């Protein structure tokens, strides 16, 4: 690792990783659809995050593109360093740009995991989130499919995304919840799942920590990220960007110095 991990470390899915991670949703075309305008820069952002700045928590999803970012991560980072956590998500279908629909049918979830394994060219997804809970499919069936894949060795750990405390409690009856990924930032300041995750010793991964870039335009980035980090040692923000300059800004903001 070239530099100390930004903002210290946290254990997620049995790996000790940097508390500051990288969200990869923006490494696509408009509407989170298709390839980025500049594929070389997208790959450079991923490599700089890991190899220059010491970010060891990379968050993605099969729905980003769809499929685009998993291919980019493969091309940028494989062979994956042992200390790097690549987390992906399944359970959303993309009918069109900007459109996201939960689909939690067991056959679909299994197919998604198998396809992510091929795109990332790995034998196991270290951390796989249920991207959204499909209200048309029993939660136990959705989680049961992922748990079966975990038992088969194709998933290492299972996480939940955009969930309430009640859902976390229900899920915990079926699986070991390895991480929860919800929105929290200085605009959306309240999420009751934050405290529950602390009580249950579940890492709380913050997506949209800068409110999709709005806070970066109107608030000091360092202040926004430090406010999140001081909410608890179980908190791990994953700001996203397609810009090397913005990546540099995030890392510098939490390390307190230009790196």
Active site (catalytic) residues: 64
The CA distance from 256 to 82, in Å, is 27
Residue 218 contacts by C-beta under 8 Å, 6 or more apart in sequence? none
The CA distance from 152 to 84, in Å, is 22
Contact 80, 123 (CB under 8 A): no
What is the full DSSP assignment across 111-139? HHHHHHHHHHT-S-EEEEEE-S--TTS-H
Question: Which letter does DSSP use for residue 214 in this model?
Answer: H
Question: Which letter does DSSP use for residue 182 in this model?
Answer: E
């Amino acid at each position: 690792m070239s530099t100390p991990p930004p903002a210290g470390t946290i254990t997620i899915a049995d790996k000790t990783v940097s508390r500051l991670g990288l969200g990869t949703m923006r490494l696509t075309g408009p509407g989170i659809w298709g390839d980025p305008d500049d594929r070389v820069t997208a790959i450079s952002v991923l490599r700089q995050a890991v190899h220059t700045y010491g970010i060891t928590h990379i968050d993605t999803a099969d729905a980003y593109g769809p499929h685009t970012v998993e291919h980019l991560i493969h091309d940028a980072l494989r062979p994956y360093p042992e200390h790097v956590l690549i987390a992906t998500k399944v359970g959303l279908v993309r009918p069109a740009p900007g459109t996201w629909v939960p689909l939690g049918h067991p056959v679909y979830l299994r197919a998604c995991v198998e396809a992510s394994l091929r795109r990332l060219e790995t034998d196991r997804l270290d951390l796989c989130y249920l991207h959204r809970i499909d209200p048309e499919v029993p939660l136990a069936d959705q989680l049961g499919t992922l748990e079966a894949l975990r038992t088969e060795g194709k998933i290492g750990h299972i996480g939940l995304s955009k969930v309430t405390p009640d859902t976390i409690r229900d899920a915990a009856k079926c699986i070991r919840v390895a991480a929860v990924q919800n929105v929290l930032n200085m605009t959306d300041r309240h999420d009751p799942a934050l405290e529950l995750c602390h009580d249950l010793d579940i890492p709380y991964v913050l997506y949209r920590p800068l409110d999709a870039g709005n806070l970066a335009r109107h608030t000091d980035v360092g202040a926004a990220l430090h406010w999140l980090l001081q909410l608890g040692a179980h908190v791990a923000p994953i700001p996203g960007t397609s810009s090397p300059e913005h990546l540099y800004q995030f890392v510098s903001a939490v390390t307190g110095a230009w790196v």
